[in-house]
Structure 1
Amino acid sequence: MISKATIDTVFETARVEEVIGDFVHLKRAGSNFKGLSPFSEERSPSFMVSPAKGIWKDFSSGKGGNSVAFLMEHEKFTYPEAIRYLAKKYNIEIEETEQTDEEKANTDVRESMYLVSEFAKTYFHNTLLNSEEGKAIGYSYFKERGFTNETIKKFGLGYSPEAWDAFTKEALGKGYKLEFLESTGLTIPRDDRPFDRFKSRVMFPIQSMSGRVLGFGGRILTNDKKAAKYLNSPESEIYHKSKVLYGIFQAKQSIAKLNNCYLVEGYTDVIQFNQSGIENVVASSGTALTPDQIRLVNRLTKNITVLFDGDAAGLRASIRGIDLILEEGMNVKVCTFPDGEDPDSFAKKTSYDDLVLYLENNAKDFIQFKASLLMNEAKNDPIKKADLIRDMVVSISKIPDRIQREIYIQECSRIMDISEQVLVSTLAQLVQKDVVEVGKKQQQKQEQKAFEVVKNENPISTEKVDTLGIVECEIINILLSYGNISEKFEGVLIGTNTEGEVGEVVVKKERKVYEEIYLSLQEDEIEFATGLFKEIYNDVISVYLQNDNFNLERYLMHLKPEFAQIITDIVMNNEKYVLHNWEGQNIFPKTKLEQLNQNVTDNLFTLRWYLISQFIENAKNSVSKESEIDNSEVIADIMDYIKLKTKFSYKTGRVVVRYH
């Protein structure tokens, strides 16, 4: 178990924008950062990160929390795994206490699969470097490919022995359960004796964006025609090949920094490029490119450069992936290598400077690439040329941005020597066809619903606005965000004026915001009415009274995840309105700090006004209509409270209108 001191150090050191920035491309938006949600498919950013508060909020999915919560949600880490990841990122030494048997037993299935996969990576790597067989076969192969020891270590390359069950026996001997060896695909079950899936292969660990081992790719080195050259881990609870890109862990920071991602086909292409100094490169690992893989890159950059072999078979089929990239609203360039070369071989024999120069000079816009590739096929055949032009317009129709579509139409017109009007007309037909298809699907759904008889047991009712909940929520938000700030608040005292008359005297007294809220509610003996908000308010006030220095990030650290989620929602819901660039429109609204004093006063008065209104209503309902019962005392109370309510209404007129 990780010690409390280590956890405290991790939370004090970790910067939420740095942690999330490894997974999501963030852009500054005022004092916050924003980016595309990693939890939903969106094109307009609604994912907000607040460095000052140390929290994040995804308005598209409703999720939020601190840096640990993000790792638990995005990477499916357990709490200890998230702490270990952050400790490793910030070079913090981990102090541990002995884990109990009960804690060990509580490790879930997914975590067990991750542990088995991590053990396998270590085993294969050690076998490569330290066993005679590993050095003679696996290590020699990687050296022939030109990989250095540093590169072998960086990518965790390994070797699986030729013996049928060498890895399985070792894993079982170390206490790993057979069920998890089988569920990860490392071991193939057999009644008499389970055996290793990757026997006699060099190993390429496949890692998530955070570095967790999800599965493996294994390459056979013998000339066995019955065996597949490359073998991947099967789909499992933790490994979905359509959602993974090889090398993303090593490439993510470089991709975000350089704002471009090179996409190649194989493991060795990635490794050789990386060793040559170009680190912003990933591979689809031989599978057809998928929308999920594209969205993985989209979190880090809007720009992809696809690298193709010079003599790649079926190149035309391969470039269909370009349309998928365009559909995601990304910018695509394509670069091919000379005949007989692939990214691996070309990078191996080319210096870093020459390689960078080659990529810059030969990376073509997708429209230019398609034209140059397919024009050779069309040549002087008008039918084929027409098909080529239509193919290019189909690609352009996939682009969601209308301005970009217009620019590409102009470029296509220039390259293919055809009028823009014809291309625009063809494009409009394609776009309209897509709209019609969507319309048909919607109509089918509506027709299905039309034949469904739904019995509505409860009459439709308009949802009543929870005025009290809104006010209490806002007061909690003020406490969480600004409680430590000092302001001069107005107070009313009974005193004598210069003429000796007794009356109300307005005075200003400097207090911290939390003191003003706490003392005001205490003075009037007011308690929160909403159960959850009452619990949060009492807990936050308790922290302030004990420490006089409230830190939101530290506070969230000690809360249960579901409780921390509620706190995050309260604080970050106001931040979504900061997304608009008001200053760019020459509109300069007051900042929240400039309105803080008024906001505190308004909400305290509104809370009083609302509670008094409730008391008056309850008192009116308690007045007896029977003549023999004396209601004079209750009526007197009602009149007093109506006077007080009128006084509050006078002071907070605009607030009353807002909530009434």
Structure 2
Amino acid sequence: MVRVPEQTIERIRDGNDIVDVIGGYLQLTKKGQNYWARCPFHDEKTASFSVTPAKQIFYCFGCHVGGNVITFIRDYEKLTFFEAVKMLAERANIPLEIDEGPTTDKSEVAKLAELHSQAAFLYVKKLREKGSAGAIEYLRRRGITDETIHNFQIGYAPEAWDTLLTEFNRKRVSSELLDLSGLFTKSESGRFFDRFRNRIIFPIWDLQGRIAGFGGRTLSDDKTEAKYLNSPETPLYHKGRILYGLAQAQKAIRNAQTVLIVEGYMDFLQLWQAGFQNTIAGSGTAFTPDHARLIGRFAKKAVLCYDSDEAGQQAAIKTGFLLLAKRLEVAVLEIPPGEDPDSFLKKEGKETFQKQIQQALPFIGFLEKHFQPINMESRKKSETLQMIVEQARSFQDALFQEFFLREISKRFQVTFESLMNELRRGRQGAGSELNVIVTPKEKNFQNLADASRYHLLQILLLPEEKYRRISQAYLPVELFEHTLYIQTAKALYSAFSENMHIDAAELIDTISDEGIRSFLTRLYLESDALVNPDKTFLDCMRHLEEQYIQSELAALQVNMIAAGNDEAKILRLMRQNQELTNKKKELSRIYTPQLFEAELPESD
């Protein structure tokens, strides 16, 4: 299997700041030394997901998932460990050194990506064959060039119900993978059918350069059939995180620091081939906060190039507020009634279109022009302002929120105080604002020994070798008693036997068990609370051994009662009792600071 040298993994970890990486996926709020967000791995209203820059780790106090930057990318993007390392290496421009083994185990996502690549190849091939005349004619009529067709691998899905299925059956693709891929529908009897039939196919790439899904435009005259059909959610394809064309446009968007957002595939392709290559489109789904967050990784400004009809204008309002909430500057392209970006560009030409982009209305100006507050009746104006205030509630930047509402108050001719009162009133009743948990809940240890086990595991994550040497010599894993603690101790001792100096971040990478890895992450996150680790370590070691001896003494008492009149057995048990009592008295002498300098007995 593929193996990446530890030194390379360490360079990749060091080259990808965890706040920068996770901040590209989540809206992080700084509180104290840490950053907080709502957890992407479970549903929650309160932000319990913590990112600690000093230790380069994350941890969710809600679902107890945790790890480092590689762990996050692996779990969020649903990759293998190697795929996550590769992705971060490319992000940091670090050469990826690998040791190739005899076999490479592919993840489920990697298999689906390979399947989609093969499907795209087949669709492209079918576009060149005889039965695709209708598809070619449609693309020509819409002005799509051969170069664009080639660059975006536009294809054709024939009308037959089993074109793609036959190909994958020939390649012996498992029925489980077919079902998972989203490329097929399944009857009640379990029979598969091609999802896309008699449609022009638009492959949708993710930011890793993989074809993750498809959009299909029907060529049928049947009005009951959906004009556009898109891939469903799969382990590979997440509609809320993918934008059509972003994989190809990201460089141009970064260079311009401005993104043009259109609604559909054809609008995107027209703008792209006209030279507007900082353009993206939705992928057959409503615009989401994740889309806005994704765009914020590449641009500072967004120009909404939506249709001029009412549906397009309503979409612009919703999208604009989502982008503002992620601190992007927003403007709206003005095009004449009855036009869409595609038709307007073809009719007026590139120069006029460019001029319209430069003169695009700032979002507040667009709201004023759309709603025309000067002509609104009181009730309608009140409802509109309530909607605007509700949308502004999601703005994380308090200063920007105030400036925005002040400008709205001028445009809609209401007092700023009335808008702020509405904002405060909504906050008191809503419960939707970002509540940040600053510290983990107090742990309820059953007894002193239980607390000692927990803190000892914490201390073993500190970089000092002395704690690790002493614990291995004096502390068998069985003394940790609880299953999770024992498994964690075994994992730590195993790692220490390979490398006594391994740091916590690297150690977390070596743990395959998700429960142990998350537990270790939490322990590491809380280790700063250890004020005097030397004293805590010695006290905890003594408490644990005292508890062990006390339990042995209690067992001896039971055995002595059970021995009845067996004097020899009673005598033997009494000697054992005395030895344990003497050993207990010696503990305070053993567990002193001198232990850190002593020569230790060899551990098993």
Q: Separation in 2 of the partners of 1:80 and 1:634?
A: 51
Q: SS at the partner of 2:216? A: strand
Q: Separation in 2 of the partners of 1:195 and 1:643?
A: 76
Q: Separation in 2 of the partners of 1:180 and 1:471?
A: 45
Question: Which of 390, 397, 409 pairs up with 2:390?
Answer: 397
Q: Deviations over 1:413-468 (max 9, x none)?
A: 2223343345445x25xx536744769xxxxxxxxxxxxxxxxxxxxx97446331
Q: Deviations over 1:128-175 (max 9, x none)?
A: 4x65666995499279645574x5565443233455643333232222
Q: Please say if residues 264 and 283 of structure 1, whose CA atoms lie closer than 8 Å, have aligned partners that are also in contact.
A: yes
Establish whether residue 570 from structure 1 lines up as the match of residue 523 from structure 2: yes
Query: Which residue pairs with 2:118 in the alignment?
Result: 119
Structure 2 residue runs of 5 or longer lacking an equivalent are 433-443, 481-485, 562-570, 597-604
Establish whether residue 77 from structure 1 lines up as the match of residue 55 from structure 2: no
One-letter amino acid of the structure 1 residue matched with residue 309 of structure 2: A
Q: Please say if residues 549 and 580 of structure 2, whose CA atoms lie closer than 8 Å, have aligned partners that are also in contact.
A: no
Matches of residues 484-563 of structure 1 in structure 2 within 5 Å? 513-514=464-465, 516-518=466-468, 520=470, 525=474, 527=476, 529-530=479-480, 531-544=486-499, 550=502, 555-562=507-514, 563=516
Q: Separation in 2 of the partners of 1:122 and 1:34?
A: 44
Q: Which fold has the larger relative contact order, with Cα–Cα distance below 8 Å and residues 6 or more apart in sequence? A: 2
Query: Which residue pairs with 2:230 in the alignment?
Result: 232
1:474 Cα deviation from its structure 2 partner: 2.8
Q: Please say if residues 127 and 158 of structure 1, whose CA atoms lie closer than 8 Å, have aligned partners that are also in contact.
A: yes
Q: Separation in 1 of the partners of 2:291 and 2:350?
A: 30
Q: Please say if residues 207 and 215 of structure 1, whose CA atoms lie closer than 8 Å, have aligned partners that are also in contact.
A: yes
Establish whether residue 48 from structure 1 lines up as the match of residue 51 from structure 2: yes
One-letter amino acid of the structure 2 residue matched with residue 76 of structure 1: K
- Larger mean Cα displacement after TM superposition, 32-41 or 308-317: 32-41
* Structure 2 CA distance for partners of 1:372 and 1:612, relative to 1, 3 Å: same
Q: Separation in 1 of the partners of 2:165 and 2:552?
A: 77
Q: Please say if residues 295 and 328 of structure 1, whose CA atoms lie closer than 8 Å, have aligned partners that are also in contact.
A: no
Query: Which residue pairs with 2:436 in the alignment?
Result: none
Q: Separation in 2 of the partners of 1:33 and 1:606?
A: 30
1:335 Cα deviation from its structure 2 partner: 0.8
Query: Which residue pairs with 2:459 in the alignment?
Result: 475
Query: Which residue pairs with 1:448 in the alignment?
Result: none
Q: SS at the partner of 1:62? A: coil
Q: SS at the partner of 1:397? A: helix
* Structure 2 CA distance for partners of 1:462 and 1:644, relative to 1, 3 Å: closer
Q: Separation in 2 of the partners of 1:19 and 1:161?
A: 47
Query: Which residue pairs with 1:502 in the alignment?
Result: none
1:517 Cα deviation from its structure 2 partner: 3.4
* Structure 2 CA distance for partners of 1:159 and 1:573, relative to 1, 3 Å: farther
* Structure 2 CA distance for partners of 1:635 and 1:74, relative to 1, 3 Å: closer
One-letter amino acid of the structure 2 residue matched with residue 550 of structure 1: I
Q: SS at the partner of 2:214? A: strand
Q: Separation in 2 of the partners of 1:471 and 1:277?
A: 61
* Structure 2 CA distance for partners of 1:388 and 1:172, relative to 1, 3 Å: same
One-letter amino acid of the structure 1 residue matched with residue 281 of structure 2: A
Question: Which of 398, 408, 411 pairs up with 2:407?
Answer: 411
* Structure 2 CA distance for partners of 1:343 and 1:239, relative to 1, 3 Å: same
One-letter amino acid of the structure 2 residue matched with residue 120 of structure 1: A
Matches of residues 194-213 of structure 1 in structure 2 within 5 Å? 196-213=194-211
Q: Please say if residues 310 and 336 of structure 1, whose CA atoms lie closer than 8 Å, have aligned partners that are also in contact.
A: no
1:253 Cα deviation from its structure 2 partner: 7.2
One-letter amino acid of the structure 1 residue matched with residue 524 of structure 2: V
Q: Please say if residues 160 and 199 of structure 1, whose CA atoms lie closer than 8 Å, have aligned partners that are also in contact.
A: yes
One-letter amino acid of the structure 2 residue matched with residue 231 of structure 1: L
TM-score by length of 2: 0.69
Q: Separation in 2 of the partners of 1:241 and 1:606?
A: 53
Q: Deviations over 1:203-239 (max 9, x none)?
A: 1123445444443111245766565432323556765
Identity across matched positions, percent: 23
Q: SS at the partner of 1:202? A: strand
Q: SS at the partner of 2:499? A: helix
Q: Please say if residues 247 and 282 of structure 1, whose CA atoms lie closer than 8 Å, have aligned partners that are also in contact.
A: yes
Q: Please say if residues 458 and 527 of structure 2, whose CA atoms lie closer than 8 Å, have aligned partners that are also in contact.
A: no
Q: Please say if residues 304 and 316 of structure 2, whose CA atoms lie closer than 8 Å, have aligned partners that are also in contact.
A: no
* Structure 2 CA distance for partners of 1:28 and 1:183, relative to 1, 3 Å: closer
Q: Please say if residues 305 and 332 of structure 1, whose CA atoms lie closer than 8 Å, have aligned partners that are also in contact.
A: yes
Q: Separation in 1 of the partners of 2:257 and 2:413?
A: 33
Question: Which of 160, 164, 169 pairs up with 2:166?
Answer: 169
Q: Separation in 1 of the partners of 2:272 and 2:95?
A: 24
Structure 1 residue runs of 5 or longer lacking an equivalent are 440-460, 483-512, 578-594, 652-660
One-letter amino acid of the structure 2 residue matched with residue 560 of structure 1: S
1:397 Cα deviation from its structure 2 partner: 3.0
Question: Which of 416, 420, 427 pairs up with 2:416?
Answer: 420
Q: Deviations over 1:110-139 (max 9, x none)?
A: 7765543332123223444x6566699549
Q: Please say if residues 619 and 638 of structure 1, whose CA atoms lie closer than 8 Å, have aligned partners that are also in contact.
A: no
One-letter amino acid of the structure 2 residue matched with residue 610 of structure 1: H
Q: Separation in 2 of the partners of 1:92 and 1:599?
A: 41
Matches of residues 53-202 of structure 1 in structure 2 within 5 Å? 56-58=58-60, 61-66=63-68, 68-79=70-81, 82=84, 113-128=112-127, 131=129, 137-138=135-136, 141=139, 145-146=143-144, 149=147, 152=149, 155-161=152-158, 165-177=162-174, 180-181=177-178, 184-187=181-184, 196-202=194-200
One-letter amino acid of the structure 1 residue matched with residue 461 of structure 2: N
1:412 Cα deviation from its structure 2 partner: 2.0
1:535 Cα deviation from its structure 2 partner: 1.6
Q: Please say if residues 30 and 36 of structure 2, whose CA atoms lie closer than 8 Å, have aligned partners that are also in contact.
A: no
Q: Separation in 1 of the partners of 2:416 and 2:586?
A: 78
Question: Which of 261, 264, 287 pairs up with 2:262?
Answer: 264
Q: Separation in 2 of the partners of 1:438 and 1:87?
A: 40
Q: Separation in 2 of the partners of 1:648 and 1:12?
A: 34
CA-based RMSD of the aligned residues comes to 5.3
* Structure 2 CA distance for partners of 1:192 and 1:477, relative to 1, 3 Å: closer
Q: Deviations over 1:238-266 (max 9, x none)?
A: 65646654345445677788776554311
Q: SS at the partner of 1:477? A: coil
One-letter amino acid of the structure 2 residue matched with residue 388 of structure 1: K
1:542 Cα deviation from its structure 2 partner: 1.1
* Structure 2 CA distance for partners of 1:33 and 1:532, relative to 1, 3 Å: same
1:283 Cα deviation from its structure 2 partner: 2.8
* Structure 2 CA distance for partners of 1:268 and 1:97, relative to 1, 3 Å: farther
* Structure 2 CA distance for partners of 1:438 and 1:556, relative to 1, 3 Å: closer
Query: Which residue pairs with 1:317 in the alignment?
Result: 314
* Structure 2 CA distance for partners of 1:603 and 1:275, relative to 1, 3 Å: farther
Establish whether residue 606 from structure 1 lines up as the match of residue 539 from structure 2: yes
Q: Separation in 2 of the partners of 1:622 and 1:226?
A: 79
* Structure 2 CA distance for partners of 1:171 and 1:410, relative to 1, 3 Å: same
Q: Separation in 2 of the partners of 1:640 and 1:259?
A: 70
One-letter amino acid of the structure 2 residue matched with residue 77 of structure 1: L
* Structure 2 CA distance for partners of 1:77 and 1:369, relative to 1, 3 Å: same
